[in-house]
Amino acid sequence: MNSVPQQPGGWWHDYVCPTHGIELGAREGNEFLCSYGCRLTGGKVEAAWLALEHQALARAARVAARRYALHGEAADRERAVELVLDYSALYVQISAGGWSDKSESWMLQGKLFAQALSEAQWAVGFADAIITLGPLPELRGSTDLNRTLNGLAETLAESRRILVEDRDDQRSNYTAWLDAAARLVALALHTLGGPAVAPQCAAVVFDHMQLAVRSDGWEWEASTYYHVFVLRAYLLGLRGIELAELPADAVDTLRRMVDVLVSIAAPDGFLPALHDGPYDRVAMHREVLEICTLGAQLFSDTGLATVQSWVVERLGADHDGLEWMLDGWFVGAPLDRAPVVVGSRAFEDAGYVVLRDSRNRMVGILDAGPHGGAHGHFDKLALYLYGDGPKWQPAPAVPPYGHALRHAYYARTIAHPTVRVDGVDQVEASADITEWDAAASRVSALTTTAIRGVQLRRTVQLGDGFLVDVVTVRCDDGEPHDISLGLRPALDFSVVVAGDSWRSTWGAALTGWHRASGDATLELAAGRGPSDDPSRLQHVGNWSSTASTATFVSVYSFDPELSLDTVEADFSDAAVRITIPTAAPDPSLIEVGL
């Protein structure tokens, strides 16, 4: 009896409930279950389940091999060897039929999977199990295993050639994984008595870093998920490398990529899900844990301890402990590295500005960057807000890509806390950071291209216990338009009118004060929450004014000692002056030019 499914996998993003937009759970017979009670059947969803099951079993082989290496238990050895040999026989059989017939036209085809990307991810886990087990007689004597590893090497090389030469897309995240898999497959062959691994196997990893990582450390698409995805591929692909021999520019790139995660993390360690990617998914949490562990073997101090603690707690029973068994990934002592100073920071190439209060109780992230290819969102000058636990106004991420809401809602402007005009989504655009003061935790950014014929400016300042947000919109034609600023909470949210202003509450820990220039309405509406559960209804705010120009002023307090009852905002043609009561002898006065 085989320990692995005997059919190839499809596209895992199809493993999603079409009604509720959540990733499906367990399989019962030929039915696939949604946590809301839906029971799905069909070839597409089964192929998606197979893709996930093959990945899960490759991980199971890694876990068993690692446990055997640590404890020498016969049962672990038997399980790991069984999975490796059964997959070897399966791969020989399936790859003889050529490229997958489950691939869609836009995909880079695989053989065991619809996508070569999935095949590369699987191959990394498969090869790691072999390397960890070492040259056991059962493995060295397997003709199928040798044929599988050589076949994988050929598949990966041809996929890379198609991607890089035919499609001219070397900086793709696919390339990072194809390169990592090629190196681990080569190491697995060497473990079983094959040739030594050629130096260029690591050199291609360094080449990809030069192409795909921005000067400020972000992966080029500026999505948290794809940043994690590519950084993990780099770390895995450098297995067995002598740390002392790493090129200086590669070390610097890896350091900057780790620093990105430290800098954007919420006070409790949650990583904001900026642009495409899952909001809350077990597989991604495990990927983050691998980065924390391998990063700690690479550098003497990563600064990721809080992130690691949050992920372990969030995983709960889904934490299988694999990352604790990945010791000895690199050769040599960790490289010296001073930890990044956690505070307010501008990533001017990617266009994110992170504002963090002095006691690390609140993080605000302003998105002023380019949308970033296929995985970007139409959310220029959106402001995301995170606390130590609460996610007040988080980036919503997206559901699995096979669900229509990825593009129909979550990538659109309507899902984000930013501006629409006449109900129309923004177009692909960037913004300019026109003012940046790290010491004052203040930023101002401007875009004239996100909405045709509209100038949109946002200024944000984070003080001691409060955050001030000023959004100014000017329509070039001077005619009145429906200008709307979205408030997009992810927790209990309410709004009440207070004279010429509004007061909002965001869970138990954040209060907002809001006032606009001219006539405006702040409507409490039904909307959606983050993409981990698109069917969950969520109160949202739509703050609207019909005018040719509008200014929206919000002051948020996360300090229970600070009352917003006496906040004042004085508007003029050139500026707005905001007075905020504080514990200091004199109130805070903040002036924002219009």
Residue 183 counted as domain residue: yes
Same domain, 517 and 571: yes
Same domain, 162 and 21: yes
Task: For residue 239, give every residue at least 6 positions away whose Cβ sits within 8 Å of its Cβ, in sequence order, or none.
Answer: 128, 131, 183, 184, 187, 329, 330
Residues 374 and 502 in one domain: yes
Separation CA 387–CA 374 (nearest Å): 29
Report residue 121 as tokens.
């991810």
Same domain for 365 and 435, yes or no, is yes
Which pLDDT belongs to residue 587? 66
* Residue 276 falls inside a structural domain: yes
Of 306, 327, 342, which residue sits at a domain end? Answer: 342
Domain boundary among 135, 170, 198: 198
373 and 294 belong to one structural domain: no
Indicate whether 171 and 229 sit together in one domain: no
Contact 380, 457 (CB under 8 A): no
Residues 350, 334 share a domain: no
Question: Is there a domain that residue 230 lies in?
Answer: yes
Which domain range does residue 119 map to? 1-198
Q: Residue 231: name the closest of 280, 169, 304 by CA.
A: 304
Query: Residue 127 is encoded by which pair of tokens?
Result: 């090869």
Q: How many CA atoms lie within 13 A of 219 on its CB side?
A: 28
Residue 204: inside a domain, yes or no?
no
Domain membership of residue 391 (yes or no) is yes
For the chain, 594 residues long, give each residue's pLDDT as a single digit of tens.
689 999 999 999 999 999 999 999 999 999 999 999 999 999 999 999 999 999 999 999 999 999 999 999 999 999 999 999 999 999 999 999 999 998 988 999 999 999 999 999 999 999 999 999 999 999 999 999 999 999 999 999 999 999 999 999 999 999 999 999 999 999 999 999 999 988 778 899 999 999 999 999 999 999 999 999 999 999 999 999 999 999 999 999 999 999 999 999 999 999 999 999 999 999 999 999 999 999 999 999 999 999 999 999 999 999 999 999 999 999 999 999 887 888 999 999 999 999 999 899 999 999 999 887 789 999 999 999 999 999 999 999 999 999 999 999 999 999 999 999 999 999 999 999 999 999 999 999 999 999 999 999 999 999 988 999 999 999 999 999 999 999 999 999 999 998 889 999 999 899 999 999 989 999 999 999 999 999 999 999 999 999 999 999 999 998 877 788 888 888 887 888 888 887 665 667 888 877
CATH number at 541 reads 2.70.98.70
327, 350: one domain: no
pLDDT at position 585, please?
Answer: 56
Residues 301 and 358 in one domain: no
Length of the chain: 594
Same domain, 164 and 61: yes
Q: Report pLDDT for 586.
A: 65
Would you state the pLDDT for residue 583? 62
Distance CA 401, CA 281 (A): 14
Q: Supply angle C-alpha 112, 118, 123, rounded to 5.
A: 70
Q: Output the furthest CA–CA distance in the chain (Å, rounded).
A: 82
Is residue 156 assigned to a domain? Answer: yes
What's residue 504's pLDDT? 96
The rounded distance, in Å, linking the Cα atoms of 189 and 166 is 28
Mark whether 573 and 447 lie in a shared domain.
yes
- Tell me which of 174, 198, 222 is where a domain ends: 198
Is residue 206 in some structural domain? no
**Domains of the chain: total:** 3
Residues 258 and 297 in one domain: yes
Flag whether 205 is in a domain: no
* Contact (CB, 8 A) for 593 and 575: yes
